[in-house]
Structure 1
Amino acid sequence: MFPETIETDRLRLEARGPETVDIDECYRICSSDPGIDEVTEYVTWDPHETKKETLEFLERGRERFEDGEAATYVIRPREGEDGAGEIAGFGGFDVEWDRRTANLGVWLRKR
């Protein structure tokens, strides 16, 4: 239903899941990346306390994607861009099919 991959001139977005995101890298970013407290101040989640929490975050993204409930993506700079291949953040949308609406959300790491 939703594209697995989206590419722009500078970014590559891949469907969020344990197949596309390294759990160790994601855990490090979502738990103790410099500035993560500032990032999570304005989102609906707190820094991850365990790798299990990170794995559940990735698995939930994949399940909701497959069920057509949400399209969430890991965001990375493309080849030739600063930080190419590194996780820059996550983004996507939750769908409310009965209301014909979607809620967009994006968070990016501090540079």
Structure 2
Amino acid sequence: MAVTNQPGKYEASNFQTGLCDCCDDCGTCCYGFFCLPCLGCSIASDMDECCMCGIGMPIRSVYRTRYNIRGSLCKDYYAAACCTVCATCQLKRDIDLRKKQGIF
């Protein structure tokens, strides 16, 4: 049998929801708005990280790298610094969607 495709990287994708798509999951949005540290702990737990690591640029970058999501450290920094709640909620929405799809 001849090899016709070489193994390689998966094609890069985007986050499954936008940064400001809070209405896609109002529960997560409210969770992030009223108790951001708790949402961060939930994300860290999902990713088997320390509870203090669930908010900010580092966890976002690790997640993007793990699932080959387009972006950069600079974009991660600005999203986490300028839109902390929105960026954290986006990450949690993406995790929940990947769990439903069976790819988390």
Rg larger in structure: 2
TM-score by length of 2: 0.33
TM-score by length of 1: 0.32
Structure number with higher relative contact order (C-alpha < 8 Å, ≥ 6 residues apart):
2
